[in-house]
Amino acid sequence: MAQTSVSKTREHREEHAISLRGTLASVFIMGIFLLLAWLGVFILFLARL
């Protein structure tokens, strides 16, 4: 990265804002899994009440 110039850094910064779409999608897939697992056991709890 010896040639890392100011312009490249800036380009990287701009890219940064859009380049985390995959991250957002990934955490939300994970979040949906957490939610479904929780709901599943909560429904089981209500059914066995």
Partner 1 sequence: MHLHRYEKIWLTVGLLTLIVFIIVLGINAFAMGAQPPSDAQVIDPTKVSQTPPFDQPGLKQLGNNNYAADMTAFVFGYAPNRIEIPVRSTVTFNVTSKDVVHGFEIPGTDVNMMIVPGLVNSATHTFTKPGDYLILCNEYCGAGHQLMAAHLVVK
Partner 2 sequence: MAEAQAAEVQSVRVDRPAARLSLAYVLSGFLAFGIAAIAGLLQGLDRGGMITLPKWLSYYAVLTTHGVYMGLVFTTFFIIGFFFSGVARTTGGSLPPAARRLGWFGWWMMVVGVIMATIEILAGNASVLYTFYAPMKASPYFYIGTALLVVGSWFGGYGVFSAYRAWKRNHPGKMSPLFTFMAVSTMALWQIATIGVAVEVVLQLIPWSFGWVPTINVLLSRMLLWYFGHPLVYFWLLPAYTMWYVNMPRIIGGKVFSDALARASFILFVLLSTPVGFHHQLLEPGIPPLWKFLHVMLTMMVVVPSLMTAFNMFAVFETAGRAKGATGLFGWFKKLPWNDVRFTAPIMGMIAFIPGGAGGIINAGYQMNEVVHNTIWVTGHFHLTVATTVAMTFFGIAYWLIPHLTGRRLTPAANKVGLAQAVIWATGMLLMSGSMHYMGLLGVPRRTAYTTYMNNPTALSWMPLEGTMALGGVLLFIAAMMMIGMVIYLTWFAPKGFQEYPIGEIGDTAEATPRILERWPVIISLAAVLILVAYAYPVIDTMQNAPPGAPGIKTW
Task: Give the residues lining the site for partner 2 (CB under 8 A).
Answer: 1-2, 4, 9, 12-13, 15-16, 19-23, 25-27, 30, 33-34, 37-38, 41-42, 44-45, 48
d(CA 11, CA 18): 12
CB of 4 to partner 1, least distance (A): 22
Nearer to partner 1, 2 or 13 (CB): 13
d(CA 28, CA 39): 16
Q: Which does 28 bind (CB under 5 to 8 A by kind): partner 1, partner 2, none?
A: partner 1
DSSP alpha helices (H): ranges in the chain? 6-18, 21-47
